[in-house]
Amino acid sequence: MENQNPLQNGALEGAAGNGGRSGDGSALIFLGTGCSSAVPNAMCLIQPSDPPCQVCSQSLSIPPDRNPNYRCNTSLLIDYCSSDGIRNYIIIDVGKTFREQVLRWFTFHKIPRVDSIVLTHEHADAILGLDDIRAIQPHSPTNDIDPTAIYLTRHSMDSIATKFPYLVQKKLREGQEVRRVAQLDWKIIEEHYDKPFVASGLKFFPLPVMHGEDYLCLGYLFGEKCKVAYISDVSRFPSNTEYVISKNGAGQLDLLILDCLYKTLEAIKRICPKRALLIGMTHEFDHHKDNEFLMEWSEREGIHVQLARDGLRVPIDL
Contacts of 12 (CB under 8 A, 6+ apart): 5, 6
Going through 122-279 in order, the beta strands assigned E by DSSP cover: 148-152, 184-188, 197-199, 202-210, 216-222, 228-231, 255-259, 275-279
The pLDDT of residue 10: 38
CA 120 and chain centroid, separation: 9
pLDDT averaged per 10 residues in sequence order, the chain, 318 residues: 48 40 82 96 94 92 93 98 94 98 97 98 97 94 91 97 90 66 96 96 97 92 97 94 96 96 89 98 96 97 97 97
In whole angstroms, what is the distance from residue 46 CA to residue 231 CA? 32
Q: Assign a CATH topology to domain 27-170+179-315.
A: Metallo-beta-lactamase; Chain A (3.60.15)
* pLDDT for residue 24: 75
* Predicted pLDDT of residue 212: 83
Q: What is the pLDDT of residue 144?
A: 86
162 exposed, middle or buried (CB, 10 Å; 0-12, 13-18, 19+)? exposed
Distance CA(304)–CA(292), nearest Å, equals 12
What does the alpha-carbon distance between residue 13 and residue 6 come to, in Å, rounded to a whole number? 6
Predicted model pTM: 0.92
Where do the domains of the chain lie? 27-170+179-315
Secondary-structure breakdown of the chain: helix, strand, coil percentages, each rounded to the nearest 5? 25, 25, 50
For residue 175, the model assigns a pLDDT of 55
Q: How far apart are CA 133 and CA 106, in angstroms?
A: 13
Per-residue HEC secondary structure of 115-141 comes to CEEECCCCCHHHHCCHHHHHHHCCCCC
| Spatial CA neighbour of 235 closest among 271, 277, 263 | 263
Q: What does the CA dihedral 279, 98, 28, 139 come to, rounded to 10 degrees?
A: 170
* pLDDT value at residue 174: 56
Confidence (pLDDT) at 59: 86
Cross-strand partners of 79: 27, 89
- Residue 199 CA, chain-centre distance (Å), reads 15
Check whether the bond before 51 is cis (ω within 30° of 0).
yes
